[in-house]
A and B are shown apart, each in its own frame.
Chain A
Amino acid sequence: MQMQTLKFVKKIAPPWSNGTVSTPNGPVYKVSTDWARPDYWGMIKSRAGAFRMNYAVEPGLYAVGQPTTDSDVFVTANYKLTFDTLRRELKGLNAWVLVLDTKSINVWCAAGKGTFGTDELINRISLARLDSVVAHRRVILPQLGAVGVSASAVLKKTGFRVSFGPVRAEDIPAYVQAGYKKTEAMSAVRFSLLDRLVLTPMEINPAMKKFFKYSWIALLVLGMQPWGIMFDKMLSDGLPFLLLGLVAVLAGAFLTPVLLPFIPFRSFAIKGWIVGMLTVFLATMFADFFAMRNHLLLATTFLLFPALSSYIALQFTGSTTFTGMSGVKKELKIGIPLYIGAAGISLILMVVFKLKEWGVV
């Protein structure tokens, strides 16, 4: 009977597990602290946005090493990249890992939504029957989970005391070594060049999708003649416009996030506008777009594209570790009328340009 159970467990065991550990409630999977090739490949794909919405592990209790009733319990999200990061940093420790059902979302975002939350933690502690697995009454949460978890509510309902550990899993060994004390650095969110760089694909992807959605309109309008849509007009006037659109996407979705601390002003809208203005200016200088022949097209260029870059840069507020809702609301309150104004005036300039081209005015 025992053999059969083990066989069954082995058959459906996740690829990152290496055996089982028995508990009063039956066996739980032991988790490897090493990454295999699929784990690296999964990280790359989820960073690029290929399948991040269903990159998950089964919620529940897992073991690292040979944990006992005295071992620590680390709570985490069921986004696989989060889970993988945690298990890698627990190398050499004997611990329990309690995975919450956060719908394959990372700790901070899930805490903001409430799925990494008080109710889910209370529910998961009781489902895993944690009180019979460990003799102590403490769970260690990633600090950023505090956005969604009320420690006192969890204590009241489950008897487990919540400790908010370091922000990053990499600090867990040092935190444990120091007697569960955090340094200031362990408590602070960072936003390094690398942190910002890995986030840019998810800025560029949606911007490019919208770019392709609207680019054909620009081509049609610029190719439009009284006698039909002219392909050569489309190329000579439309193509530079599309290239400038790409420059604006690059400025707002890549350059601004990466260079963030080096661009003057705190407002993301202004940062994005500055970078957009510089890159569009450089592009028109080097590429000699429109052969500098038309003032209306040039005016549209400098009105529209830096504004586009500014708008795209503003979207990056969703990925930072330091922008608050009141600030973003303030930026939008001032920004949106300006963006709409810039787009409206650009449209009028284009109409005047076309009318002049057709000899109407």
Chain B
Amino acid sequence: MKYLAHVTTLKYDSEKCAGCGRCVEVCPRGVFVMRDKRAAITDRDLCMECGACALNCDFGAISVNSGVGCAAAIINSMITGGPPSCDCSDGSCCG
């Protein structure tokens, strides 16, 4: 299953890639593969902006505006002005 196309904030600079393969190890959506000792992107639209790749890239080659893709969290953040988080008051999502 894929979500909306052309919305992800994922940015990858292959010039900075050192080929460690961490991004392939951590991405749960198969966005990265190793090609010629460097990471390459398969399909950007698979990305769900979890942020695992950017957090674990020691060479600053990956950036993504990560956050929870959860309507309740985003609506809450619109009302309260804070960042979207899973701390739903009604406990409807994460458990």
Q: Which residues of A contact B (CB under 8 A)?
A: 46, 49, 52-53, 79, 105-106, 109, 111-113, 143-144, 146-152, 164, 167, 182, 184, 187-189, 191, 202-203, 205-206, 209, 260-261, 266-268, 314-315, 317-332, 336
Contacts and interface: CB of A to CB of B under 8 A. Distances in A.
Contacts of B63: none
Nearest to A52: B95
A320 B29 CA distance: 12
B72 interface: yes
A71 B94 CA distance: 32
Contact of A188 (B8, B29, B67, B93): B29
B55 A205 contact: no
B51 A147 contact: yes
Main secondary structure on A side of the interface with B:
helix
Interface residues of B, number: 49
The 10 closest A-B CB pairs, nearest first, are A318-B70, A109-B94, A146-B26, A318-B93, A52-B95, A325-B67, A324-B49, A146-B52, A323-B69, A327-B4
A324 B7 contact: yes
Instruction: Indicate the member of A52, A53, A112, A268 with the most B CB atoms within 10 Å.
Output: A112
A105 B56 contact: no
B3 A327 contact: yes
Contacts of B80: none
A317 B26 CA distance: 21
B2 A326 contact: no
Contacts, number: 158
Interface in B11-63: 22, 24-30, 46-52, 55-56, 58
Given A147-B52, A152-B58, A188-B28, A324 B3 contact: yes
Given A209-B90, A266-B4, 20 more contacts: A109-B95, A112-B68, A144-B28, A146-B25, A146-B55, A151-B56, A187-B24, A202-B92, A260-B1, A267-B4, A315-B92, A318-B70, A320-B1, A323-B3, A324-B7, A324-B49, A326-B8, A328-B69, A328-B71, A332-B78
Contacts of A148: 55
Interface string B79-95: 00000111110111111
Contacts of A205: 92
Given A105-B94, A106-B95, A266-B5, A143 B87 contact: no
A167 B7 CA distance: 25
B69 A320 contact: yes
A150 B78 CA distance: 29
A193 B11 CA distance: 32
Nearest to A199: B93
B27 A187 contact: yes
Contacts of B66: 147, 325
A315 B72 contact: yes
Nearest to A323: B69
